[in-house]
Structure 1
Amino acid sequence: MKDRNHLAKVSTTHEVNIIEDGLIDIPMLQILKPDGSLHENATAPELDEATAVKIHDTMEYIRVLDERMIAAQRQGRISFYLASTGEEAAAVGSAAALSEHDMIMSQYREQGALAYRGYTTSQFMNQMFSNKEDPNKGRQMPIHYGDKPLNFMTISSPLGTQIPQASGYAYGQKMAGNEAITICYFGEGAASEGDFHAGLNMAAVLHCPVIFFCRNNGYAISTPADEQFAGDGIASRGLGYGVKTIRVDGNDPLAVYAATKRAREIALEESCPVLIEAMTYRLAAHSTSDDPTGYRSREEEDKWRAKDPIQRMAKWLEKKGWYDEAANTKLIEKSRADVLAALKKSEKIDVNPIEDIVEDVYDDVPWHLKEQLDNLKSHIKQYPKAYPKTAGRVK
């Protein structure tokens, strides 16, 4: 039996020794400069042309999707939306480094990871309009996606809930002997939730093959990072829990890809968790309910626009001979047309039957819910104009 003495590795001192900030310097991995060239001594990860172009094109598509759906929300066609403008590399670059068998547990700004896996424009629209084609049957807020065939766990609104769930799922993957890992996305604000600490500790103790991917985008809604914590970001917390840790430039698609690929190799080979902190910036509002002009300056935003991950990737592709400006313009135009066409189609599809609220949940519907359902149907019958049969237009 092995020695479980928890003091075995603890050094000793005979003087009061205050441990101060600055003893640990966690570097940030950077490969690609904003102009598309490589940093000195940096090596680009091995990427074939098809994968590199797919990473770029997916980021372009997501930006178009975000722009169109924010406009749709402003027009009253959907109730809510969250854009990932400026953070596309974090989701897409990491998703590209995974196996299709790996489970993705998302927060709510990783639509790029889902698109990279093949989620279609129609699927995005049907979910956001909560119509009959939505596999979640309209029971989720817009952008709370889930897709079993693509190994994308359904999103929950409460912050951090997916973190301990990811540890448990990864533990199950290990016990089943699967050649797969779980990746769990969250923001630095969610790292203040208790679930973050429970999830990391569980994964470290049980040696779970999971990647905890933190998008440190500078703000938890309106609260800047320096008002959230005094330590060295989120990466230092991983070290505190005994979790292997990588800090990466979240606006550098190549660095994100390389970091995630290496993290996946470690998680599988050593059966252990890895924390990635991606340093990025949310150029968009937190959501369509937020106005960022109340808590940050235009000058601050402009500094980060110069670090645009899509432009950075495009310039690198151009240097490789894999990018054509005219073809990219056509791609954007086609994406806009496809999103608009899918939007118009999805908002005309009927909503789900009201009975699904209870009858598709309970095998035997309790009497009090039957009574409430009857009352709801009577109410809708009395005010039919307030409850349209199709999914479009939020009343």
Structure 2
Amino acid sequence: MSSKSANASNTDPLLRAAVSNQKTGQLPEGLSADDLKRMYEGMILIRAYDERQKKLQRSGRIGFCVTSTGEEAAQVGIGQALSDKDWIFGYYRQYGLMIYKGVPITELADHLFGNVGDFAKGRQMPAHYTNRKVNFVSSSSVIGTHLIHAAGAAMAAKYKKDDVVITTYIGDGGTSANDFHSCMTFAGVYKPPLVVFIVNNQYAISQPVSKQCGAETLHSKGVGYGVPAIRVDGNDVIAVYNASREAFARARAGEGPTLIELFTYRVGPHSSSDDPTRYRGNESDEWLSDERDPIARTRQYLKSLELWDEAYEARIWEEAQTKVNEGTTESAKKPEPDWNSLFEDVYAELPPALARQRDELLEKESEFPRQQEGEFPL
């Protein structure tokens, strides 16, 4: 991170307050000791899930995965501030919000395997999660289109006077997409209860921010749209929580949208199909240091509050890894979706031509081998 970027991120009053709390060993406003431990444990569970995903993919058990190592605070801080009735329009790296909101690991793994338990019934690309129980809307493979959906949902909430906040997320590269412009223009004019998070992890796949955007900071784009904006240290879970809580309160009070840039770092590859060594050196090691890793930083904070010891650390890692291993093992045993599901959830009444195609396909189903329990071919 350049000195210019570091200085820019430290100009935020919310960020300064969060850092001050950590240095003085004080509890942040609105959070208890139990809240802090739950947030720390949530970040560890997300990272444990990441480690398991990578092993499944590299061993050929699943075909594709996306990880968020190094970005855990950018998810947990928001998740702590969200209410159960709020809506999430994320992209493929926000699954940590679902984990933090209590979605069982099995349900996330079902989607990676594309099995019969997958809520998308195997139709969506892996890592494009959806979960109705926590208002997590399925993401799109087309960059930025979900921002338009989020803006529309926020306008619906405003018209209906629903006491909900709509949140949406985009990467640094996605802020150059047309749909980001459309979303922000709409939000700036109509003032819906929308909070847009830019997860600036410094790379749009292989393209660094400096080569795809001329703005000094990404949150500065909010000025042109008439949307209040703030830049936050995305690896400081308390700073993320503070900024999110304030933005959500503004939205609920009818004061309109907020744009929040979360300055963080993508430690791993863009996806399991990416080789980051081709476009960057070993800088990711620095972002896993005690000074920058969001988990390590939170651990130091808990130590200052006397809420951490080595026995606690060992226990929560063991619990997280057990939960992840058991959940993914259970998911791996489930069969693939029934072929009949291809024709469901599209029409209220299946058209005759499509019904004939379904019947022809099902007649031939016996000619093809079915997946056996515990086997999942790519």
TM-score by length of 1: 0.86
* Cross-structure match for 2:286: 303
> Matches of 1:210 and 1:326 in 2, distance apart?
41
Contact 2:104/2:327, CA 8 A, preserved across alignment: no
Q: Are the counterparts in 2 of residues 144 and 154 from structure 1 also a CA contact under 8 Å?
A: yes
Q: Does 2:314 correspond to 1:329?
A: yes
Distance in 1, matches of 2:161 and 2:22, equals 41
Larger radius of gyration: 1
Please tell me whether the aligned partners of residues 164 and 198 of structure 1 are also in contact (alpha carbons under 8 angstroms).
Answer: yes
Aligned match of 1:250: 234
**Offset at 1:367?**
5.0
User: What does 1:184-223 align with in structure 2 at a 5 Å threshold?
Assistant: 184-223=168-207
Q: Is the 8 A contact 1:247 1:279 kept in 2?
A: yes
Structure 1 residue 142 and structure 2 residue 129: aligned?
no
Q: Secondary structure at the match of 1:355?
A: helix
Residue 296 of structure 1, CA deviation: 0.4
- Alpha-carbon distance, 1:233 to partner: 2.8
Contact residue 32 and residue 312 of structure 1 kept, 8 A = no
Do the aligned partners of 2:21 and 2:28 also contact (CA within 8 Å) in 1? no
Distance 2:361 2:279 in 1: 42
Corresponding residue for residue 36 of structure 2: 52
- Contact kept, 8 Å, 2:53 with 2:65, in 1: the verdict is yes
What secondary structure is seen at the aligned counterpart in 2 of 1:149? helix
In the alignment, which residue of structure 1 is the partner of 2:99?
Answer: 115
More helix by share: 2
1:175 equivalent in structure 2: 159
1:96 aligns with 2:71: no
Aligned partner of 1:70 among 43, 54, 59: 54
Separation in structure 2 between the aligned mates of residue 319 and residue 295 of structure 1, nearest angstrom: 38
Q: 1:281 pairs with 265, 270, 276, which one?
A: 265
User: Relative to 1, partners in 2 of residues 1:39 and 1:49: Cα closer, same or farther, differing over 3 Å?
Assistant: closer
Deviation at 1:388, TM superposition (A): 2.0
Give the structure 2 partner of residue 16 of structure 1.
none
Indicate yes or no: 2:323 matched with 1:354: no
Shift of 1:236: 1.3
- Structure 1 residues 198, 118: closer, same or farther in 2, change over 3 A? same
Per the alignment, residue 264 of structure 1 pairs with 248
| Residue type of the alignment partner of 2:49 | L
**Number of matched pairs:** 366
Match of 2:3 in 1: none
Q: Which residue identity does 2:284 align to in structure 1?
A: E
Describe the shift of the 1:134–1:391 C-alpha distance in structure 2 as closer, same or farther (beyond 3 A).
farther
Structure 1 residue 45: Cα displacement: 3.6
Aligned to 2:303: 318
Matched position secondary structure for 2:339: coil
Report the CA distance between 1:138 and its aligned residue: 2.2
1:229 Cα shift? 0.8
CA contact 1:249–1:256 (8 Å) conserved in 2: yes
Structure 2 CA distance for aligned equivalents of residues 375 and 159 of structure 1: 36
Q: Quote the Cα distance in structure 2 between the aligned partners of 1:391 and 1:206.
A: 52
Distance across 1 between alignment mates of 2:18 and 2:208: 26
User: Where does structure 1 lack aligned partners over 5 or more consecutive residues?
Assistant: 1-24
What secondary structure does 1:238 align onto?
A: helix
Deviations, residues 199-252 of structure 1 (Å, cap 9, x unaligned): 011111111111000100000001111111111232111111000001000111
| Contact in 1 for aligned 2:64/2:271 (Cα 8 Å) | yes
Coordinate RMSD, CA, aligned: 2.4
- Is residue 364 of structure 2 the alignment partner of residue 393 of structure 1? no
Match of 1:13 in 2: none
Q: What TM-score comes out, normalization by structure 2 length?
A: 0.90
* Contact 2:21–2:27 (8 Å) recurs in 1: no
Residue of structure 1 in register with 2:215 after alignment: 231
Q: Helix, strand or coil: the match of 1:38?
A: helix
1-structure distance, mates of 2:352, 2:271: 39
Task: Give the alignment partner of residue 329 of structure 2, picking from 328, 339, 344.
Answer: 344
Q: What is the distance in 2 between the residues matched to 1:377 and 1:84?
A: 40
Matched, 1:166 2:183: no
Q: What residue number does 1:79 align with? A: 63
How far apart are 1:314 and its partner, in Å?
A: 1.1
- Taking the aligned partners of 2:362 and 2:372, their CA distance within structure 1 comes to 13
Aligned-residue sequence identity (percent) comes to: 36
Q: Please, which runs of 5 or more residues in structure 2 have no aligned partner?
A: 1-7
Amino acid at match of 2:120: N
Give the C-alpha shift of residue 392 in structure 1. Answer: 4.5
CA drift at 1:113: 1.1
Cα separation, 1, equivalents of 2:139 and 2:321: 26
Partner of 1:101: helix, strand, or coil? Answer: coil
